[in-house]
Amino acid sequence: MASKLAPYLSYPDASAVIAWLEAIGFTVVVRQDGPGGRVMHSELRMDEVVVMVASDDNDYVVAPLVGSSTGAGLYVVSDDVDLLYTAAISGGGVSVFPPEDTEWGTRRARVLDPGGREWSFGSYEPGVRR
């Protein structure tokens, strides 16, 4: 089997982030809720992208936005950066920078999800030799 990457993220309000991910086009594949409204585990998919989300089991500190980055984030390759960005903002995300054309010929945008984590949307596909 080929290797794949599936990031996992935890949030104080995992349900709000799951709703945000659904607003930008992800579908819940698995969701296991626990006592007190906690999300014990969930898996969401958009095309070939899979992310796992759960409720925090401790008080974590999310890196703050410094300039236009938190220093770590998730990057979703998309043919329609503008659509993803609009859905992300409408769903409760915070704009870091709106869709823009880059000097190297791609389109990109960046938002923070409802939990303050950084998501970039771009037309550039990493890992493909040119």
What mean pLDDT do residues 21-26 have? 98
**Residue 13 CB: number of other CB atoms within 10 A?**
14
Q: Would you say 45 and 27 are in contact if contact means Cβ atoms under 8 Å apart?
A: yes
What is the per-residue pLDDT across 78-108, written as a single tens digit (0 to 9) for each? 999 999 999 999 999 999 999 999 999 999 9
Give me the CATH number covering residue 107: 3.10.180.10
> What is the reported pLDDT for 122?
97
Q: Is residue 87 part of a domain?
A: yes
24 vs 75: CA distance, rounded Å: 13
- Tell whether 118 and 78 lie within a shared domain: yes
Structural domain of residue 35, as residue ranges? 8-55
**Coil, strand or helix: which one is 37?**
helix
55 vs 41: CA distance, rounded Å: 8
> What is the reported pLDDT for 66?
96
What is the per-residue pLDDT across 28-54, written as a single tens digit (0 to 9) for each? 999 999 999 999 999 999 999 999 999
Q: Supply the pTM of this predicted model.
A: 0.94
Number of domain units in the chain: 2
Q: Is residue 108 part of a domain?
A: yes
Counting residues of the chain whose pLDDT is more than 70, the rounded percentage is 99
